[in-house]
């Protein structure tokens, strides 16, 4: 691959990392992971129809290393989790169902944790090369999370339909009464200030 094409791919890799990091900063990890998996799932499902190009794992490794270098130069902020999740997201969007592994190891009475990606054939992608002699703490798979989300939406629709049918069985008059706008309630809190006695507050409904 020529230098210009590699730089263009790295710009895309950096943009995906920015999206991943934003999700991690704004949500708890499990929620962020599910949202990313759901957003990427249509690309995963359509990879064959789109004739998505097979990704070079060596290139992904190099892109990850470049992100670490940008972090060291204070151009952006990374972590092993954000980089591993970026690699997994790009693989997933190209039809590769890789796993994100969170592993730990005890060093001098302290726990060291690390995240990296394992491909379906067992090969690993770890730009930081620290996935040796670690114990697996958690495995994350995007297909599992996306399908779990789809199932939860389906179950929610079923429950909503069941509630509606139950209400509908009570007749047209009941439905019209339930759908009629209610009279608004005005809520207000009034507090008296600059008084010699203890400040009092009143609530009116």
Confidence (pLDDT) at 144? 93
Confidence (pLDDT) at 95? 92
How far is C-alpha 71 from the geometric centre of its chain's CA atoms? 22
Q: Is the dihedral of CA 151, 52, 10, 88 positive or negative?
A: positive
Confidence (pLDDT) at 139? 94
Confidence (pLDDT) at 188? 66
Q: Name the residue among 115, 111, 112, 108 with its Cα closest to residue 87.
A: 115
Determine if the pTM surpasses 0.75: no
Q: What gap in Å lies between CA 58 and CA 9, rounded to an integer?
A: 13
Three-class secondary structure assignment of the chain: CCHHHHHHHHHHHHHHHHHHHHHHHHCCHHHHHHHHHHHHHHHHHCCCCCCCCCCCHHHHHHHHHHHHHHHHCCCCCCCHHHHHHHHHHHHHHCCCCCEEEEEEEEECCEEEEEEEEECCCCCEECCCCCCCCCEEEEEEEHHHHHHHHHHHHHHHHHHHHHHHHHHHCCCHHHHHHHHCCCCCCCCEEEECCCCCCCCCEEEEC
Confidence (pLDDT) at 194? 61
Confidence (pLDDT) at 193? 59
Confidence (pLDDT) at 202? 52
For residue range 63-90, list pLDDT tens digits in order: 999 999 999 999 999 999 999 999 999 9
Which regions of the chain are under pLDDT 70? 1-7, 164, 175, 187-205
Confidence (pLDDT) at 201? 52
């Amino acid at each position: 691959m020529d230098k210009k094409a590699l730089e263009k791919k790295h710009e895309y890799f950096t943009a995906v990392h920015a999206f991943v990091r934003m999700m991690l900063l704004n949500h708890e990890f499990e929620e962020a992971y599910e949202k990313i998996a759901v957003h990427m799932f249509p690309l995963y499902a359509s990879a064959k129809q789109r004739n998505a190009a097979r990704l070079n794992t060596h290139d992904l490794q190099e892109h990850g290393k470049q992100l670490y270098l940008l972090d060291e130069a204070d151009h952006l902020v990374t972590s092993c989790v954000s980089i591993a999740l970026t690699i997994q997201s790009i693989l997933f969007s190209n039809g590769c169902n890789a796993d994100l592994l969170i592993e730990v190891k005890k060093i001098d009475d302290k726990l060291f944790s690390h995240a990296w990606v394992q491909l379906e054939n067992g090969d690993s992608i770890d730009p930081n090369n620290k996935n040796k002699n670690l114990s697996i703490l958690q495995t994350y798979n995007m297909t599992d999370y996306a399908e779990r989300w789809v199932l939860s939406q389906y179950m929610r629709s079923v429950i909503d339909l069941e509630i509606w049918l139950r209400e509908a069985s009570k007749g047209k008059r009941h439905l019209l009464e339930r759908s009629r706008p209610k009279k608004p309630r005005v809520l207000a809190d009034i507090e008296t200030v600059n008084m010699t006695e203890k400040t009092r507050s009143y609530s009116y409904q």
